[in-house]
Amino acid sequence: MGERAGTKLARILRDAPTAASNVRGILFMTTACASFACGDTIMKLSSGAVPTSELLFLRGCFVTLGGFLVAYWLGALSLLHRALSGAMAIRAAGDVTGAWSFQMALARMPYADLSAVGQLTPLSITAASALFLGEKVGWRRWTATMIGLAGVLLIIRPGSSAFNWWALAGILSVLGSTVRDLGTRYVDRSVPPAIIMMLSAAATTITSLIVAPFAGWSTPSAGLVAVMALSAMFSLVGQMCVIISVRSADISAVAPFRYTIILFAIASGVLVFGHFPDALTLTGTAIVVAAGLYTFYREQSLRKLADRPRP
């Protein structure tokens, strides 16, 4: 069973991006966003119980273990040596940066607001995919990216009384996520997502363990350990879905669907934390989403034009 699953997964990741694989990538990305929102909600609820380094260490241990078990089940551990590359190191560095900066901001900002800041990620990936991956991005999509950036500025409102300096940590997490996703594209395509996830999580766990003695350590309760295990499960599912998404589809096609996390974040903010974004934040978010959807629409139009038989 594990061998059949591994063969099927490898076939998905080997296929060149097509219209069908783009749809599959979009579904994986949306699933990832829902899973991340659940995990983030748990992490925010747990903030303050123990230092950030300890939270990341506990969750990282479970994510690393989960990645190892999945890789073992798929019979993929024999491919571990293929993942030990510069691209994997870049991905891990981006993941560590993103995890630390996001968690620090999450503990001090409304979740929906931080998620809105995170909407810079699809825009930065669209730009980075053109600059570093050679994907064609025309002036219309560049214009949409700039409009989306204006929407993000409306959300964070630098210089105003509503501005939270921890939003800068959120922006840093965006840059980390961009590096992570670009690095993923350069990792050997035969390396299964579980191996990639395991190594990145191990990097975050190790850095957390190094910092922990300086941040203080308190013995976690059994309940907190269980909650971190649950958060790790959501993180594992989300990261694996992202890896499959960006490796089996065009980044410019799946990137706009990262915006779905804002819907899950708003729902979490209202239902769990009793916080609803203000009018300017919602307006800025709407602008960013509209820009992202246009970018996706434009990419699909160009694909159909390119696939049209020439006379």
pLDDT tier, 23 (very low <50, low <70, confident <90, very high otherwise): confident
pLDDT tier, 208 (very low <50, low <70, confident <90, very high otherwise): very high
Examine residue 205 and state whether it is found in any structural domain, yes or no: yes
Examine residue 14 and state whether it is found in any structural domain, yes or no: no
Examine residue 7 and state whether it is found in any structural domain, yes or no: no
* Structural domains of the chain, count: 1
Checking if the pLDDT of 7 tops 90, the result is no
Pairwise pLDDT comparison (54 vs 5), residue with the higher score: 54
Examine residue 174 and state whether it is found in any structural domain, yes or no: yes
Examine residue 62 and state whether it is found in any structural domain, yes or no: yes
Checking if the pLDDT of 183 tops 90, the result is no
CB crowding 99-123: b at 16 or more within 10 Å, else e: bbbbbbbbbebbbbbbbbbbbbbbb
Examine residue 4 and state whether it is found in any structural domain, yes or no: no
> Average of pLDDT values for 276-297?
82
What value, to the nearest 5°, has the Cα angle with vertex 15 and ends 12 and 20? 80
Checking if the pLDDT of 289 tops 70, the result is yes
The predicted pLDDT at position 223 comes to 92
Concatenate the DSSP letters of all residues of 42-57 into one string.
Answer: HHHHHBTTB-HHHHHH
> Average of pLDDT values for 10-34?
74
- Window from 110-124, 129-143, 202-216, 262-276 with minimum mean pLDDT: 129-143
Pairwise pLDDT comparison (178 vs 254), residue with the higher score: 178
Domain that holds residue 157: 20-307
Let me know: does 243 contact 193? Beta carbons within 8 Å.
yes
Examine residue 165 and state whether it is found in any structural domain, yes or no: yes
Pairwise pLDDT comparison (309 vs 279), residue with the higher score: 279
pLDDT tier, 212 (very low <50, low <70, confident <90, very high otherwise): confident
The predicted pLDDT at position 1 comes to 47
Examine residue 13 and state whether it is found in any structural domain, yes or no: no
pLDDT tier, 308 (very low <50, low <70, confident <90, very high otherwise): low
Mean pLDDT of the chain: 82
The predicted pLDDT at position 306 comes to 63
Pairwise pLDDT comparison (138 vs 42), residue with the higher score: 42
Checking if the pLDDT of 113 tops 90, the result is no
Amino acid at 46: S
> Average of pLDDT values for 78-86?
87
Distances (CA, A) of 29 to 148, 258, 279, 304: 20, 7, 27, 22
What value, to the nearest 5°, has the Cα angle with vertex 228 and ends 96 and 170? 40
